[in-house]
Structure formats: structure tokens, C-alpha cells
Amino acid sequence: MKKVRKGVEEEQIRRLIGEACKARRRAYAPYSRFRVGAAVLSKDGRVFVGCNVENASYGLTVCAERVAIGNAITQGAREFVAIAVVYSARREAVPCGACRQVLREFGGEMYVISATTRGKYRVRRLSDLLPGSFGGEELRE
């Protein structure tokens, strides 16, 4: 496999974006109509997906990234290599602050692939999106 974009393999990127696109189609977004899909790659090679699930109270809305991580956790995965998030925006967006913190719980160096439905994407390290982050290791000191 050809390595691209800071160490993530092109085949992995395409696979994750494809799975996130499929999950995005199942999003429940009747209020914002902003559908989001996510696919997270575990260290053992499994892929887990999620989509955003809105709620009329807005505060109870759950982001696609957190749904994907929750799905992975329920299947026993705890270590992740990368997550792809697909949005319907013109430019690639990044996970919200709450999602960044949840992702940080499972590794600050995972790759975050922000993609659009038009095929544009960008790969970053989570640590670049959440500099100076707080994690479980601080609680063990």
C-alpha cells in the first residue's frame, strides 16, 4: 500500500471515507439537515461507523464521531488508528470540541480524516486539533 498524508495509507483513507459516507446516509438530522457520518479504524483493522442523531432539545444531539466510538467500544475495541468524518459542507470540517475530547480519550495521535461529499479530504493528527489536551494520564499522576 502506498503511504500518503502523514502516514495513513491511501487504501485505509478511501475505505474509511467510503464507510463514513454510507453511515452519513443514515443520519437522523431533521432539524439542521446537516448529515454527518464517521468511520473509525481500530488497531486490529476493524471499522466501526456512526452517524449524527439529532434531538428536538438540541443539547441531547449525539455527533457521528461519538456514535462510532461508542459502537467500537461495545465491540471491545479500545485502540484506534484513524477516524474519517464526512460532511456535506463545501470544505472539510473538523470534529467539534466535545468529539475531539472523546477521541483524545483513546489516543491523541490518531489520524483525523475530514472529508466532504465532493471527495475533498484532509488528514491531521488529533493532537494538532486539540493541542495541550487533557487526558487520563493526568489523572494518574
Residue pLDDT, tens place only, 38-96: 999 999 999 999 999 999 999 999 999 999 999 999 999 999 999 999 998 778 889 99
| Model confidence, pTM | 0.91
Residue 140 lies in a domain: no
Residue pLDDT, tens place only, 113-134: 999 998 899 999 999 999 988 8
Q: Which of 65, 17, 73 is nearest to 9 (CA)?
A: 17
SS3 of 91, please? Answer: coil
Residue 13 lies in a domain: yes
Domain coverage including residue 10: 3-130
Q: Which CATH number is 47's domain given?
A: 3.40.140.10
Residue 9 lies in a domain: yes
Catalytic residue ranges: 65
